A and B are shown apart, each in its own frame.
Chain A
Amino acid sequence: MPAALRRLNLVRLAPLLWLGPAIALIGVVVLWPVVVMVQSSFQQIGGEGFVAGYNGTKNYAHLFNEPDFVSVLLRTLVWVVVVVAVTVFISLGLAQLFHQQFPGRRVARWALIVPWAASVMMTALIFKWALDPNVGVINVILHHLGVVKQLGSNRADWLGNPTSALAWMMGVAIFVSLPFTTYAILSGLQGIPRDVYEAASIDGATSWKSYLGVTLPLLRPAILVATLINVINVFNSFPIIWEMTRGGPGYETATSTIYMVELKQGDVGQSASMSVINFLLVIVIVLVYLSTTRWKEQVDQ
């Protein structure tokens, strides 16, 4: 039967049957919104969602003229770079640690994934409450330690001051990104054969040198993928900032995603143009990163 069917050209189309629903779903849900988004960014759409007509590039001009636009973009870049870099750095160490053999390793590893499984929003809320100036548990502990002299004071209001708020939120973002990154690097470590290390130590390399010279390069693919996925997730990170400060005060802790959502309330067209810029920014960052790490060697199957 298969041989006969193969001669018919219909067989060429058979994959379409199998792939069709998948392509359709991806097309409708993932690809088409990009088109709608770009289209909307050129239309005049008020806060009620009614399209009033074509608006040319006015939405973009309006957006670039917003007083907070530049600071939001800069802050977003800082946010992404710091969170991803620190996450990868800490994860390298954590992975190394959890790669060792020790009793109870499975349980300890399991604890690592908890922040990943728990919703980011819930984690953000826990920290928001814990940083409450009057009753939050972090402040209470710091108060006992003498770091925070008085509950309810400015020192205890971590989330009210943009700088300390950003620092804490970055901490939370790093915290929720650590599990995946650590596991990615762990699986990379597990793929490195033992004899590589033995060869290195025979050559007289110290453990630090062999880490830098042997382990890290072999970990490159894992680090690459982990960083990429982290960049994309962190860039679009919404729940943390939304729940902890709503981007406030003003827009001083807002990243581009938060800004886009805030804009949507008053002007959907402008919000769409912010989305497009956001989108392009991610693509640019990813491309830049890929080009600097010569990805093609790694991913070729």
Chain B
Amino acid sequence: MITTTKPAPRVAARAGTAPRARRPLRTWLVAGAAYLIAVIFLLPYLEMLVMAGRPNNELGRATIFPSHFTFSNFTTLWSGGGLGGSIGTSLQIAAGATVIVLLVALPAAYCTARHRFRGRTAFLLLVLTTQMFQPAAMLVGIQREFINFGLPPTLSLIIVNAGFNLAFAVWILNAFFSSIPVELEEASMVDGLGRVGALTRITLPLAAPGIVTALIFTFISAWNEFLVALTLSLGESPTQQPLTVAINNYIGQYSVDWGHLFAAGLVATVPVIILFAFIERRVVSGLTAGAVK
């Protein structure tokens, strides 16, 4: 509550009267600006909500608000021609990728955090540099490689998404494991827990925030992935395609039923936003770890 001499070039202190009155005024100005910006950031998604409730026959009308809010766009999601089936496929891919990432990243990060072995720096460097690789950049390579594997597209997408999110997971888990003092584990081993016991009873719970972060980040990243999904899943029927692809194919049909599309978008986006709210702070520190501190 103490806004002292923090430099704030964006919000110049108004020529206030007494020092006491200046503080609340400035705080409210700052708050006002922040609220305004928050609203601006939310505007497009509020618009999506408005559109999702727009009745079909008003799609051609140039009005800002629909005459009334209708749920029909949501109810048709799971009927024929709806986008609901794709939500299930996206769920499979995102969940599958998340499981694989956790299973693979946990041991790797733990080993890296606890042991100073030869090649550790090399491994960390590998992880760091692969964070910079984007699936879109290597589309042709991925496509040609996975054709030869002959896997069903959903499985291919699970593997691809897992691979590209692995680096971040290892990075953040490594940071978390490193911050847990070895003494805690050793103390519990002295108390009679085996090594595995120490791991599961002491280390993992303490690292839980990092695990949850990696989990949710991978999930969201796989859920929203577009280009590789578009390339690999085209041979499937629409309900077997992830949501991003299904929505893309929905555009260009007839004249787009934006109401239905945004209803599907809402169903896809809102849970993700809520999930993300849990982890945003750690994601940033995870991505900038090692550089900021």
List A residues at the B interface (Cβ < 8 Å).
12, 14-15, 17-19, 21-23, 25-26, 28-38, 40, 49, 93-94, 96-105, 107-108, 110-123, 125-127, 129-130, 134-135, 137, 139-141, 143, 151, 175, 178-180, 183-184, 186-188, 191, 197-198, 200-201, 207-208, 210-211, 214-215, 221-222, 224-226, 228-229, 232-233, 235-236, 238-239, 242-243, 257, 260-261, 264, 268, 271-272, 275, 278-279, 282, 286, 298-299, 301
Number of interface residues of B (CB under 8 A): 104
Q: Which of B123, B139, B277, B284 contacts A275 (CB 8 A)?
A: B139
Cβ contact within 8 Å between A19 and B112: yes
Chain B residue nearest to A139 (CB atoms) is: B62
Q: How far is the CA of A32 from the CA of B117 in the complex (A)?
A: 26
Q: Which of B1-29 contact A (CB under 8 A)?
A: 1-3, 5-11, 27-28
B-side residues, CB < 8 A to A, are 1-3, 5-11, 27-28, 30-31, 33-35, 37-39, 41-42, 44-45, 47-48, 51, 59-64, 100, 103-105, 107-108, 110-112, 115, 117-120, 123, 126-127, 130, 132-134, 136-142, 144-145, 147, 159-160, 162-164, 166-167, 170, 220, 223-224, 226-227, 244, 247-248, 251, 256, 258, 261-262, 265, 268-269, 272-273, 275-277, 280-281, 283-285, 287-288, 290-293
From A17, A115, A221, A238, give the contact of B227 (CB < 8 A): A238
The answer to whether B248 touches A102 (Cβ under 8 A) is: no
**Measured between C-beta atoms, what is the minimum distance from B62 to chain A in Å?**
5
Residue contact A271 to B34, C-beta cutoff 8 Å: no
Partner of B137 from A35, A119, A141, A278 at Cβ < 8 Å: A278
| Cβ A111 vs Cβ B64 within 8 A | no
Of the residues A40, A96, A180, A271, contact of B10 by C-beta under 8 Å: A96
Q: Is the interface of B mostly helix, strand, loop or mixed?
A: helix
Of the candidates A12, A33, A233, A261, the one whose C-beta lies within 8 Å of that of B145 is A33
A261 to B59, CA, bound (A): 32
Contact yes or no, A279 B288, CB < 8 A: no
A211 to B7, CA, bound (A): 6
A15 touches B111 (CB 8 A): yes
Contact B268 A29, beta carbon cutoff 8 Å? no
Q: How far is the CA of A127 from the CA of B88 in the complex (A)?
A: 26
**Distance between Cα atoms of A113 and B217 in the complex (Å):** 13
Chain A interface mostly: helix
- Pair B269/A116 contact, Cβ less than 8 Å: no
- Minimum CB–CB distance from A86 to chain B (whole Å) comes to 15
How long is the Cα–Cα vector from A179 to B281 in the complex, in angstroms? Answer: 11
Q: Provide the bound-state CA to CA distance between A28 and B162, in Å.
A: 11
Query: A122 with B60: in contact, given A37-B138, A115-B41 (CB under 8 Å)?
Result: no
7 intermolecular pairs with C-beta atoms under 8 Å apart: A15-B120, A25-B162, A26-B127, A34-B141, A117-B272, A118-B269, A187-B281
Q: Is the CB of A129 within 8 A of B51?
A: yes
Kindly state the separation between the CA atoms of A175 and B37 in the bound complex, as whole angstroms. 12
Q: Taking each of B47, B139, B162, which has the highest tally of chain A beta carbons within 10 Å of its own beta carbon?
A: B139
- Asked if B265 and A125 make an inter-chain contact with CB atoms under 8 angstroms apart, the answer reads yes
- Tell me if A225 and B287 are in contact (CB < 8 A): yes
Q: Nearest chain A CB to B175's CB is how many angstroms away?
A: 11
| Minimum Cβ distance to chain B for residue A144 (Å) | 8
Q: Known: A19-B112, A103-B31, A122-B48. Is A117-B220 also a contact (CB below 8 A)?
A: yes
